[in-house]
């Protein structure tokens, strides 16, 4: 059950842009399997990443979760030759595992092994992928694992993951991205082993595969691996076309009612660009200034946590971020042709919920309306150029980002960050913020035990007081006067009981 990031596989499943308009690989029989290589003769390790266009966007209607369940039947199940227990036992002496992550667009099967064990590990990985056992016992166990992720992890165990996943459901409602990769409770209950077998044949093909290999592998290894993987069905090249981004009109709130002592707040809206668009990079600087993930210099963090002590942390994002409660840096191999902007206000005490929402909106509105100063821009840009170098500290991670860059139709992501940021101006950043970060319309998800009274509070939209237990700076109190009276103007407010979330 291990994976490259040492997280349970169930948690891994929680989880007009350039690629939408740019040419996909032509829908013809593939001439050969595409590969991204990152050799390093000095490395004692070899990392393999097999990325299939087999994410949750390919789930048939009414069978949400099928891609994730099929992935589990390859990575966490037996083969035609051995049981899953025997497979784990064979992998154990190699200190290796078969990792899995199913996201909206792709399913990743991956592993890292010492080069002395490469041949043995490759044989086991190929056995799992090319000769799955599809045992009924594995099917039942993996289906229960996904159901437990929805009902135990998301609904009960993690308010933050719950809100983060529910926000994506709301932003992309009616869109192929509009359901969690793990599916829904009712759709999972309908899935059969025959459904899994059919999805495997349809989506796990040569044409859907992007192969990545990094590290100290011997000459000729990639060609041998391609030859072996040619046993997969040929399939067709080309990813599933996506419809236009959903239109968000007004400020819409979904209040998830559950027994919890705090209030978690999330809001966001679709973005019409991704990494392949030139506007992404100035927007990247604006977002970093606003609230880089798990850093302490962003305005959201310094103002909401640092100055006001509202909560543990506050961040913003201009693309999907994998498993934010447990990751520090961006994760590769979760590429999405269509992205979204979001703000994550980590749980606050109920008395501060309305004020915290307004404080987050205030910072986004201020960046959108006023932009950054030249001094703030230069400090943020310089920090980001250096900070981004920490995002790919291993060959395995660098390989993943190179694979992402190929799918986004761009040069190396990190080369582009340094190249574009070094010549960027504050005017370009402020123009991007004005163009893309308008919070006039958004979807919001609030996880709270007080949904009915909080709905009434939002509807009244009266000023929200904020009391401090210790002395704060006069500048903070002065800004609070504006924040407390900031109009939220909710357009629509729905209350959803926790047992209905991810149900259908």
The CATH H-level (homologous superfamily) assignment of domain 251-500 is Metalloenzyme, LuxS/M16 peptidase-like (3.30.830.10)
Cα separation, 472 vs 388, whole angstroms: 33
**Contact indicator for 372, 427 with CB cutoff of 8 Å:** no
- Note the pLDDT of residue 32: 85
| Closest by Cα among 281, 301, 303 to 384 | 281
pTM value is 0.93
Let me know if the fold of 9-229 is the same as that of 251-500.
Answer: yes
Contacts of 251 (CB under 8 A, 6+ apart): 440, 441, 442, 444, 488, 489, 490, 491
pLDDT in tens, 132-172: 999 999 999 999 999 999 999 999 999 999 999 999 999 99
What is the average pLDDT score of the chain? 94
Instruction: Tell me the percentage of the chain whose pLDDT exceeds 90.
Output: 93
Residue 310 and residue 352 in contact, taking contact as beta carbons nearer than 8 Å: yes
> Any residues with CB less than 8 A from the CB of 263 and at least 6 apart, and which?
347, 348, 349, 350, 352, 353, 356, 446, 447, 448, 450, 454
CATH class assigned to 9-229: alpha beta
Residue 445 has what pLDDT?
98
pLDDT tens sequence across 284-318: 999 999 999 999 999 999 999 999 999 999 999 99
Take residue 161 and report the two structure tokens written for it: 């993951």
Tally of CB atoms within 10 A around 158 = 18
Question: Residues 41, 177: contact at Cβ < 8 Å?
Answer: no
Please tell me the total number of residues recorded for the chain in this structure. 504
Q: What does the block give as tokens for 466?
A: 């904020």
Phi and psi at 74, nearest 5°, equal: -100, -40
* Beta bridge pairs of residue 47: 112, 214
Q: Provide the phi-psi class of 134: left if phi over 0, else alpha when psi is between -120 and 50, else beta.
A: left
Alpha helices in 335-473 (DSSP H): 353-370, 374-387, 395-408, 413-422, 426-436, 451-460
Domains of the chain, by residue range, sit at 9-229, 251-500
Q: How far is CA 268 from the centre of its chain?
A: 14
Residue 262 structure tokens: 């705090």
pLDDT tens for each residue of 437-496: 999 999 999 999 999 999 999 999 999 999 999 999 999 999 999 999 999 999 999 999
């Amino acid at each position: 059950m291990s994976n490259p990031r040492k997280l349970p596989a169930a948690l891994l499943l929680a989880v007009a842009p350039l690629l939408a308009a740019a040419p996909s690989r032509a829908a013809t029989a593939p001439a050969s399997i595409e590969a991204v290589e990152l050799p390093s003769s000095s490395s004692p390790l070899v990392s393999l990443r097999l990325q299939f266009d087999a994410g949750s966007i390919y789930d048939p209607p009414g069978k949400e979760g099928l891609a994730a369940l099929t992935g589990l039947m390859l990575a966490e199940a037996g083969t035609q030759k051995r049981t899953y227990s025997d497979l784990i036992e064979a992998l154990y002496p190699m200190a290796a595992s078969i990792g899995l992550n199913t996201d909206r667009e792709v399913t990743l099967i991956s592993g890292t092994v010492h080069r002395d064990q490469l041949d043995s590990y490759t044989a086991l990985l190929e056995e799992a992928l090319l000769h799955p056992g599809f045992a009924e016992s594995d099917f039942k166990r993996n289906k229960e694992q996904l159901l437990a992720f929805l009902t135990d992890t998301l609904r009960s165990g993690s308010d933050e993951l719950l809100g983060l996943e529910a926000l994506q459901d709301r932003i992309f409602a009616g869109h192929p991205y509009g359901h969690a990769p793990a599916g829904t409770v009712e759709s999972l209950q309908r899935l059969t082993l025959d459904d899994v077998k059919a999805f495997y044949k349809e989506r796990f093909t040569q044409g859907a595969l992007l192969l990545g290999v990094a590290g100290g592998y011997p000459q000729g290894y990639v060609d041998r691996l391609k030859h072996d993987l040619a046993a997969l069905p040929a399939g067709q090249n080309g990813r599933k076309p996506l419809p236009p981004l959903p239109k968000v009109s007004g400020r819409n709130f979904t209040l998830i009612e559950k027994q919890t002592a705090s209030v978690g707040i999330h809001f966001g809206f679709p973005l019409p660009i991704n990494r392949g668009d030139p506007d992404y990079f100035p927007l990247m600087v604006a977002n970093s200034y606003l609230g880089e993930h798990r850093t302490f210099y962003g305005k959201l963090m310094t103002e909401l946590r640092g100055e006001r002590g509202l909560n543990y942390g506050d961040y913003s994002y201009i693309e999907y971020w994998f498993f934010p409660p447990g990751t520090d840096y961006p994760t590769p191999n979760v590429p999405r042709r269509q992205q979204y902007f979001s703000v994550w206000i980590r749980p606050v005490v109920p008395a501060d919920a309305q004020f915290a929402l307004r404080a987050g909106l205030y910072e986004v509105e201020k960046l959108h309306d006023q932009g950054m100063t030249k001094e703030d821009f230069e400090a943020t840009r310089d920090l980001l150029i250096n900070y981004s170098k920490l995002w790919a500290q291993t060959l395995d991670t660098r390989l993943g980002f190179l694979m992402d860059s190929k799918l986004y139709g761009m040069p190396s992501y990190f080369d582009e960050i340094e190249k574009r940021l070094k010549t960027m101006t504050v005017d370009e950043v402020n123009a991007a913020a004005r163009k893309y970060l308008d919070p006039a319309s958004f979807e919001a998800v609030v996880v709270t035990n007080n949904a009915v009274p909080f709905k009434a509070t939002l509807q009244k939209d009266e000023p929200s007081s904020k009391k401090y237990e210790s002395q704060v700076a006069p500048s903070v109190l002065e800004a609070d006067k504006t924040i407390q009276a900031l109009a939220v103007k909710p357009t629509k407010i729905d209350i959803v009981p926790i047992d209905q979330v991810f149900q259908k």
